[in-house]
Chain A
Amino acid sequence: MTALFSLAWASLLNRKGSVILTIVAVALSVALFLGVEKARSGAREGFENTISGTDLIVGAPTGTVNLLLYSVFRMGSATAEVSWPTYRQIAERPDVAWAVPIALGDSHRGYRVMGTSTDYFQHYKYGGGQLLELAEGTIFDDLFDAVIGADVARELGYEIGTPLILTHGIGAADLGSGHENRPFRVSGILRSTGTPVDRTVHVSLEAITAIHVGWETGAKNPLADSIPTEMIRSFDLTPKTVTAIFVGLERKGTILTTRRQINTNRGEPLMAIIPGEALRELWGVTSIAERALLAVSGFVIAVGLVSILTSILTSLNERRREMSILRATGARPGHIFSLLVLESGLIGFMGALIGIVIVHGVFAAVAPMLQARYGVAFGAGGPGLLDLYVLGAVTLAALVIGAVPAVAAMRRSLADGLSVRL
């Protein structure tokens, strides 16, 4: 077999040009398939790693997926808010261990600003249950302190003490409709988490209230800026509303009951979601498109395999002479068969291998960009079992497909005997 293997290898080298093209075709098809699958599982993993330890998320009634997206992933925005008294009611329920309110709606140079309490840093968990950690500085000491995520600090070059101005709304920055006269300063920088937290500016709920003094009508009162900041500090800055509430329960067993009770709340209409369940709903929506994409990329692999078949079949005519030389020097029909099957398998193997390398290269190159744009860490980890399966499956399929030209060559070499003339 090793004798044939080196023969097959030499034969492929001799037809480098067309063989390389075929390998590229297989490599690209494998890269596409793996890319789709890795993007899919990477996105899921990234999303699923973003929140853990939070049993329920409560907000104003909206879509399950929508509430999850804006409260946890900072995508989209809330259409309604939850009043402060309602938040207090939920926080005081006997089955609730902790309830962290969050207020969204402002931004800083394209990064979302989230108002919350210091409890957030004690209860919000990501990944396998890790708490947020400060890389440096402290959580809110002063009313106008901000704790920024690792990406915000890195990309904007902010350090402890850097002043920053919030922008009203989440549109593009520098529209001027801002909170220019209420500057914040960076008091703490969080360690990188690979979640949207890295791209969030955290301030206290009271600060959110403070910068919106004079905004009670929804737009800025021309006199708002005339209220001195020092005076605002003496106001009661308890928020009127919050955007959503992260809830941890005393006992996990009550989760369904608690959710039902919140959903059927007699006062203000509310919606409570279980993060994992909402994620599954999101996957349910995306899985149809995912499956279609996987099917298409699977067919592209089939096309790649057919290109192996084509390239070997078309080479057979010009290799007739070669086959009869091999026969004359003692090759049995089985040798001819194995030679061509090996060539096909080698092309498939190298194509798949290169495809895997391409996918990992591309993901390594674009992962930071994807993380910057979507706040989700893609394709963490090197080659996995899936790559191995694909490598094996494509090689095997190429070996099987190689039987077609192999049988043709074997038959022909039997019929030709030693007498092929060119």
Chain B
Amino acid sequence: MADPVIDIEGLRFAWKSGPQVLDMDAFRVEAGERVFLRGPSGSGKSTLLGLIAGVLQPQAGRISVLGEDMSKLPAAQRDRLRADRMGVIFQMFNLVPYLSVTGNVLLPLRFSPARRKAAGNDPQAEARRLLARLGLTDESLLERRVSDLSVGQQQRVAAARALIGSPSLVIADEPTSALDADARDRFINLLSEEVERSGASLLFVSHDASLAGLFTRAADLTAMNRAGAPA
């Protein structure tokens, strides 16, 4: 069996001189898993995602992501790891307003030569392929300003951006909270399919427990995080 994609042990985090926001014993995501992590607001999920993505560092404990010990890795190398091997989808406002749809999808390739290489000889075509896979087939959409897109379309662009250049881990932070039930399920299914196709792992965080069935495994952050404020 391959190394786990995320491996957390005794992780503790507090903002500068603030109270503990995260205190959890163990959490693992294995390669190829699509994990649903339930966490209401205030449960420390954004902090956890920040730690996994390497923009935050824990005060104690061990967090290893994609085989790298994030608590020991210098900031520059954590940034490099994220650039090269992770895709991130936010709750909303995922897109850079001054880039076109394809410009947004291709954004990670600007910062990571490894991703650029993985995206193949024709990144534009790869971006179009991903967008089409996620249901954005309308060519006229591609050069449109992102602010002209519906929220559902924006989230699918964000998903394509997270997937381009075949990252090993996709992190999604409440990406469906602004979508209606239909669009939400379709989005999750499309995202899951593409994650599976590319052989990546997915960590999907949401407060909405009803989504849990769409994933290979579900976990509850409120239960794991001793420092979590009651929701």
Contact = CB atoms under 8 A, between A and B. Distances in A.
Given A3-B110, A418-B46, A418-B90, A330 B82 contact: yes
A329 interface: yes
Contacts of B107: 325-326, 329
A329 B98 contact: no
Q: Report which residue of A331, A332, A333, A418 has the largest number of chain B beta carbons within 10 angstroms of its beta carbon.
A: A418
Contact of B53 (A13, A328, A331, A414): A328
Contacts of A14: 97-98
A327 B108 CA distance: 10
Interface in B89-113: 90-91, 93-99, 103, 107-108, 110-112
A125 interface: no
B181 interface: no
B50 interface: yes
Interface string B77-88: 001101110001
A7 B100 CA distance: 11
B111 A418 contact: no
Interface in A320-358: 321-322, 325-333, 335
A14 B96 CA distance: 10
Given A4-B110, A332-B76, A422-B93, A327 B98 contact: no
Contact of A10 (B84, B93, B99): B99
B142 to A, nearest CB: 16
For chain B, give the interface size range: 20 to 34
Given A11-B98, A14-B97, A418-B50, A328 B90 contact: yes
B88 to A, nearest CB: 4
Contacts of A181: none
Interface string B109-123: 011100100000000
Contact of B108 (A13, A321, A329, A421): A329
A10 B83 contact: no
A327 B55 contact: yes
A417 interface: yes
A287 interface: no
B83 A325 contact: no
Contacts of B166: none
Nearest to B53: A418
Contact of B96 (A13, A326, A422): A326
A330 B83 contact: yes
Contacts of B111: 3, 329-332, 335
A410 to B, nearest CB: 12
Contacts of B76: 332
Contacts of B156: none
A287 B79 CA distance: 57
A329 B88 contact: yes
Nearest to A10: B98
B104 to A, nearest CB: 9
Contacts of A330: 79, 82-84, 108, 110-112, 115
Interface in A5-27: 7, 10-11, 13-15
B52 to A, nearest CB: 10
B49 A418 contact: yes
Contact of B88 (A11, A322, A328, A333): A328
B84 A417 contact: no
A419 B56 CA distance: 11
A328 B172 CA distance: 11
B173 interface: yes
B176 interface: no
B161 interface: yes
A331 B94 CA distance: 15
Interface in A371-422: 414, 417-419, 421-422
Contacts of A331: 79, 83, 111
Contacts of B108: 329-330
B47 interface: yes
Contact of B161 (A10, A322, A329, A418): A329
Nearest to A13: B98
A329 B173 CA distance: 14
Q: Report which residue of A4, A329, A414 has the largest number of chain B beta carbons within 10 angstroms of its beta carbon.
A: A329
Contacts of B47: 419
A419 B42 CA distance: 12
Q: Report which residue of A3, A13, A326, A417 has the largest number of chain B beta carbons within 10 angstroms of its beta carbon.
A: A417
Interface string A197-229: 000000000000000000000000000000000
Given A321-B93, A330-B84, A7 B110 contact: yes
Contacts of A326: 96, 107
Given A330-B111, A330-B112, A417-B56, A325 B98 contact: no
Contacts of B112: 330
Contacts of A3: 110-111
A274 B99 CA distance: 67
Nearest to A413: B55
B97 A322 contact: yes
Contacts of B53: 328, 417-418
A418 B93 contact: no
A322 B79 contact: no
17 contacts: A7-B110, A10-B103, A13-B98, A14-B97, A15-B98, A322-B96, A325-B90, A325-B94, A325-B95, A327-B55, A330-B108, A335-B111, A414-B55, A417-B53, A418-B55, A419-B46, A419-B49
9 closest Cβ pairs, A-B complex: A330-B83, A14-B98, A330-B111, A3-B110, A328-B88, A419-B46, A417-B50, A417-B55, A332-B79
Interface of B: 46-47, 49-50, 53, 55-56, 75-76, 79-80, 82-84, 88, 90-91, 93-99, 103, 107-108, 110-112, 115, 161, 173
Given A14-B98, A330-B79, 7 more contacts: A325-B96, A325-B107, A329-B107, A330-B112, A330-B115, A335-B111, A418-B90
